[in-house]
Structure 1
Amino acid sequence: MDTPQPLYSAESVRELDRQAMAALGIPSIQLMKRAGRAAFDRLLARWPDIGRIQVYCGGGNNGGDGYVIAALAAQKNIPVTVFACTNPERLKGDARAAHDYACREGVRIVTALTQMGSADGDTLSVDALLGTGFSGPLRPPVAHAIERIRKSRGPVLAVDIPSGLDADTGSAGQAVCADMTVTFIGRKLGLYCGRGPALCGEVVFAGLGVPEPVYDAVRPLVQRYGSASIKRLPPRPADSFKNQFGHILIVGGDSGFGGAALMAAQSSARAGAGLVSLATRPGHLGAALTRCPEVMAHPVVSGQELEPLLIGPDVIAVGPGLGRSPWSEQLLARVGRTGSPLVVDADALNILAQGRVLAGVKRDDWVLTPHVGEAARLLGCDTVEVCADLRASAAAVQHKFSGVVILKGAGTLIAHDGGVDLINSGNPGMASGGMGDLLTGIVAALIGQHLPLVEAARLAVWLHGEAGNRAAADGQRGLLATDLLPWIRRLVD
Structure 2
Amino acid sequence: MDTPQPLYSAESVRELDRRVITALGVPSLALMKRAGRRAFARLMARWPDVRRVQVFCGGGNNGGDGYVVAALAAQKNIPVTACACVPPEKLSGDARSAYEYALREGVQVVQSLTDLDSEDGDTVIVDALLGTGFSGELREPLGHAVERINRSVAPVLAVDIPSGLNADTGHGDRAVRADLTVTFIARKLGLYCGRGPALCGEVAFEDLGAPAEVHQGLEPLAWRYTGESVPRLAERPADAYKNQFGHILVVGGDAGFGGAALMAAESAARSGAGLISLATRPEHLSAALTRCPEVMAHPVISGQELEPLLDSPDVIAVGPGLGRAPWGEQLLARAGRAEVPLVVDADALNILAGGRVLAGLRRDDWVLTPHVGEAARLLGWDSAAVLADPLAAAQAVQEKFSGVVILKGAGTLIAHEQGVDLINAGNPGMASGGMGDLLTGIIAALIGQGLSPVEAARLAVWLHGAAGDHAAADGQRGLLATDLLPWVRRLVD
TM bin, normalised by shorter chain, reads over 0.9
Q: Structure 2: how far apart are the matches of 1:272 and 1:423?
A: 22
1:263 corresponds to which residue? 263
Shift, 1:145, TM fit: 0.5
Counterpart residue number, 1:465: 465
Write the letter of the residue equivalent to 1:458. R
Whole-angstrom CA distance in 2 between matches of 1:235 and 1:276: 21
1:231 is matched with which residue? 231
Higher mean alpha-carbon deviation, 131-140 vs 455-464, is at: 131-140
Distance in 2 of aligned mates of 1:96 and 1:337: 64
Match of 2:133 in 1: 133
Between the aligned partners of 2:112 and 2:465, the Cα distance in structure 1 is: 45
Question: Number of residue pairs matched?
Answer: 493
Deviations 1:167-217 (Å, cap 9, x if unpaired)? 000011111000000000000000000100000001000100001111123
Amino acid at match of 1:298: H
1:83 aligns with 2:83: yes
Question: What is the percentage of aligned positions where both structures have the same residue?
Answer: 77
TM-score of the aligned structures, taking structure 2 as reference length: 1.00
Give the match for residue 95 of structure 1. Answer: 95
The equivalent residue for 1:441 is: 441
1:278-304 Cα distance to aligned partner (Å, 9 max, x none) = 000000000000000000000000011
Corresponding residue for residue 166 of structure 1: 166
1:23 partner amino acid? A
What amino acid sits opposite 2:207 in the alignment?
A: G
Q: Does 1:177 align with 2:177?
A: yes
CA distance in 2, matches of 1:483, 1:475: 12
Q: How does 1:226-305 map to 2 (within 5 A)?
A: 226-305=226-305
Q: Would you say 1:19 and 2:16 are equivalent positions?
A: no
Distance 2:466 2:136 in 1: 36
Report the counterpart of residue 420 of structure 1 in structure 2: 420
In 2, the alpha carbon distance for the partners of 1:491 and 1:110 equals 53
Cα distance in 2 between the residues matched to 1:291 and 1:90: 69
Alignment partners' CA distance in 2, 1:402 and 1:139: 40
SS in 2 for 1:132: coil
Q: Aligned partners of 1:165, 1:297: CA distance in 2, in Å?
A: 48
Task: Measure, in 2, the Cα distance between the counterparts of 1:304 and 1:231.
Answer: 38
Instruction: Name the aligned partner's letter for residue 440 of structure 2.
Output: T
Change (3 A) 1:217 1:337: closer
Counterpart in the other structure of 2:64: 64
The amino acid across from 2:68 in the alignment is: V
Rounded Cα–Cα distance in structure 1 between residues aligned with 2:289 and 2:396: 40
After TM superposition, list the pairs within 5 Å mapping 1:33-44 onto structure 2. 33-44=33-44
> Which residue of structure 2 lines up, in the alignment, with residue 73 of structure 1?
73
Cα deviation code 1:58-106 (max 9, x no counterpart):
0000000000000000000000001101111110000000000001001
User: How many Å separate the matches in 1 of 2:469 and 2:173?
Assistant: 28
Compute the displacement of 1:337 (Å).
1.5
Which residue type is aligned with residue 150 of structure 2? Answer: R
Q: Equivalents in 2 of 1:487, 1:114: separation in Å?
A: 51
Aligned-residue Cα RMSD (Å) equals 0.6
Residue 358 of structure 1: aligned partner: 358
The CA distance in 1 between the partners of 2:463 and 2:337, in whole Å, is 30
Unaligned segments of structure 1, at least 5 residues: none
Q: Following the alignment from structure 1 to structure 2, what is the Cα–Cα distance between the partners of residues 140 and 386?
A: 27
Q: Distance in 2 between matches of 1:47 and 1:217?
A: 39
Q: Report the 3-state secondary structure (helix = DSSP H, G, I; strand = E; otherwise coil) of the residue aligned with 1:410.
A: coil
* Offset at residue 218 of structure 1 (A): 1.7
1-side partners of 2:231 and 2:49: how far apart?
A: 42
Runs of 4+ displaced beyond 2 Å: none
Q: What does the per-residue CA deviation read over 1:418-463, in whole Å, with 9 as the maximum and x for residues that have no partner?
A: 0000000111100000000000000000000010111000000000
CA deviations over 1:217-266 (Å, ceiling 9, x no partner): 32111000001111100010111110010000000000000000000000
What is the identity, as a one-letter code, of the residue corresponding to 1:371?
H
1:334 aligns with 2:330: no
Alignment match, 1:316: 316
Q: 1:231 is aligned with what amino acid?
A: P
In 1, Cα distance between equivalents of 2:471 and 2:124: 33
What is the SS of the residue equivalent to 1:158? strand
Hey, what's the Cα distance between the residues in 2 that align with 1:336 and 1:234?
29
1:447 and 1:391 map into 2 onto residues whose CA distance is 24
1:381 corresponds in structure 2 to: 381
DSSP 3-state at the match of 1:229: coil
Residue 155 (1) aligns with residue 142 (2): no
Distance 1:155 1:193 in 2: 22
Paired residue secondary structure (1:125): strand
Counterpart CA distance in 1 for 2:231 and 2:329 is 35
Taking the aligned partners of 2:232 and 2:319, their CA distance within structure 1 comes to 26
* Partner in structure 2 of residue 107 of structure 1: 107
SS at match of 1:6: strand
Q: How far apart, CA to CA, are the structure 1 residues paired with 2:25 and 2:161? A: 26
Tell me what 1:474 maps to. 474
| Partner AA of 1:114 in structure 2 | T
Partner SS for 2:36: helix
Task: Give distance in 1, aligned partners of 2:305 and 2:443.
Answer: 26
Q: State the one-letter code of the partner of 2:276.
A: V
How far, CA to CA, are the matches of 1:118 and 1:243 in structure 2? 67
Amino acid at match of 1:327: W
The residue that corresponds to 2:192 in the other structure is 192
Question: How far is the alpha carbon of 1:376 from its aligned partner?
Answer: 0.2
Query: Which TM-score applies when normalising by structure 1?
Result: 1.00
| Matched position secondary structure for 1:260 | helix
